[in-house]
Amino acid sequence: MSRIRNIKDLAELAGVSTGTVSRALAGSELISQKTRERIQALAEEHSFRPNVLARNLRIQRTGAIAVLIPLGHETGQHISDPFFITMLGLLADALTERGYDLLLSRVIPTDNGWLERMTGSGRVDGVIVIGQSDQSATLDAVAARYKPLVVWGGHSTGQVHCSVGSDNRLGGDMAASHLIAQGCQSIAFFGDPRAQEIAQRLAGCRDAMARAGLADRLTVVPAHLVAEAAHPDIAAFLGQSAGGQASDRPQGIVAASDVIAMSALRALAEQGLSVPGDVRVIGYDGLALAEQTVPRLTTISQDLTQGAHHLVDMLLRRIAGEETQSVVMDPKLVVRMST
């Protein structure tokens, strides 16, 4: 059996052009199924594997997508965070199905060049950023000249970078409105508004409280997104309110994430307060873990599966030269036992 050393040898054996062989091995539908299968069978018979690196150099593609997690305002957060793990799994599946590898990096921004270094490295065909943190200005600056960039996060007027995310302001409004409808006249918001998404959720809470004539009954506690860091601050706040009259204690808690809400449930239990009897609690994200808390957590759910699909689809369209607009998805109130 003659040795197949390259695509040219395989093309001569198959009696077709090298371009046809290249497309057939890539599974291109520009080649008929019968021809694709014949060429792929010949390659398998001769144990031929194309040089993917050489192919990528020819077509100026790396076959890899960078997924970056910038932690500007929350440096203690890790990739093992339940939200990141959920989103990464969904993105990895979607990218693999489209034939791309995933290059993952957790970034602690120490200057404004962290994103420029990745986009200019030549190592990837495009970049997905999970979360805006406090880095919106950097994202806008790079997006103005680097098109294959899509960000999971909130959308704001005048924003340059293309984003996918839920309507955070509406979600915050829905959360506070639900608690008000359950009889809560005073509400505490747990979350750090330095992050754009959290600031939008807080703004939504303020909207709902103002409509109800309760604008002065909203307290903001800038709790961390990391459970271990959030718990002490939440416990201290609840301890102070428990030390006074019952009227000093918030009747409801809007947590900026499900992880923060779980920390609140723990701190309330340690204070001997019942949920929802003494305090009602609602989270944000719709993570699977919210089904496992005691009591089961009411939350504002984001469709992360659809969000990951949008991120990958829009990025590949931008790699192909298309312009895409930001996607703002409707959040959904999921009512469970905590409210």
pLDDT tens string 113-168: 999 999 988 889 999 999 998 999 999 999 999 999 999 999 999 999 999 999 99
Of 72-76, 195-199, 330-334, the one with minimum mean pLDDT is: 72-76
Residue 140 and residue 180 in one domain: no
Asked if the structure places residue 337 within a domain, the reply is no
Distance in angstroms between the alpha carbons of the first and the last residue of the chain: 72
Position 233 in a domain: yes
Residue 339 is assigned to a structural domain of this protein: no
Whether residue 231 is contained in a domain is answered as yes
183 C-beta neighbours (distance < 10 Å), count: 9
Yes or no: say if 177 and 208 are a contact pair by the CB < 8 Å rule: yes
Residue 242 has pLDDT above 60, yes or no: no
92 located within any domain: yes
The answer to whether residue 338 is domain-embedded is no
Domain region containing 45: 7-59
- Mean pLDDT computed over 310-335: 95
Burial group, residue 181, by CB count within 10 angstroms (0-12, 13-18, 19+): exposed
Relative to beta strand 149-152, strand 162-166 is parallel
**pLDDT tens digit sequence for 282-322:** 999 999 999 999 999 999 999 999 999 999 999 999 998 99
284 closest CA partner among 231, 338, 216: 338
Q: Which of 12-16, 43-47, 137-141 has the highest mean pLDDT?
A: 137-141
Distances (CA, A) of 166 to 169, 183, 200, 207: 9, 26, 10, 17
Cα angle for residues 94, 98, 100 (degrees, 5° grid):
90
Q: How far apart are CA 234 and CA 307, in angstroms?
A: 30
Please check the confidence at residue 271 and state whether its pLDDT lies above 70: yes
Tell me, yes or no, whether 159 and 114 share the same domain: yes
Number of structural domains the chain divides into: 3
> Crossing angle, helix 82-97 and helix 304-319, to 10 degrees?
50
Could you tell me if 75 and 160 lie in one domain?
yes
Do residues 178 and 277 both lie within one domain? yes
Q: Are residues 132 and 197 in the same domain?
A: no
User: 105 and 205: one domain?
Assistant: no
Please check whether residues 190 and 252 belong to one and the same domain: yes
Please name the residues in contact with 65: beta carbons below 8 A apart, sequence gap of 6 or more. Answer: 95, 100, 101, 102, 103, 124, 125, 126, 127, 128, 315
Same-domain pairing of 172 and 145: no
Report the C-alpha gap between 308 and 314 in whole angstroms: 10
Query: What was the pLDDT predicted at 19?
Result: 80
The verdict on 288 and 172 lying in the same domain is yes
302-312 in b/e burial notation, b at 16+ Cβ within 10 A? bebeebbbbbb
Residues 27 and 175 in one domain: no
* pLDDT at site 53: 46
Q: Using the structure block, give the residue that is written with the tokens 């899509």.
A: 150
Residue 309 forms part of a structural domain = yes
pLDDT at 59: 46
Q: Residue 113: which CATH number?
A: 3.40.50.2300
**Residue 334 forms part of a structural domain:** no
Query: What are 94-107's pLDDT values in tens digits?
Result: 999 888 899 999 98
Q: Where does a domain end: 59, 81, 102?
A: 59
